[in-house]
Amino acid sequence: MKKKLTPNGYDTDKSLQYLKNYQEFFSRFEDKEIRLLEIGIDREGSLLLWRDIAERIHEHNSRYKTEETHPLFQR
């Protein structure tokens, strides 16, 4: 992770403190391939954030915000 992340440029509700914590935590995995599950993405800005935190993150995310929109709950 080369650059210092700021909330600017990401359409996300994550605060600067979150970004500092993420950078510190994920820096130990910088040269490793990891898998990340994010549940509850909103405007998908965090997908760009994860991309910039670690190039080798394989992100799996849930696009379903409520039971009403999840296909398993459709009748």
- What's the predicted TM-score (pTM) here? 0.54
pLDDT score for 62 = 53
Query: For 8-67, what is each residue's pLDDT tens digit?
Result: 777 777 788 888 888 888 888 777 777 777 777 777 777 777 777 766 666 555 555 555
What are the sequence ranges of the domains in the chain? 33-75
Collapse the DSSP code of 51 into the 3-class scheme (helix H, G, I; strand E, B; otherwise coil) and give the result.
helix
**Angle (CA) 67 60 14, round 5°:** 80
pLDDT score for 69 = 55
Bigger pLDDT: 72 vs 33: 33
25 Cβ contact list (under 8 Å, min separation 6): none
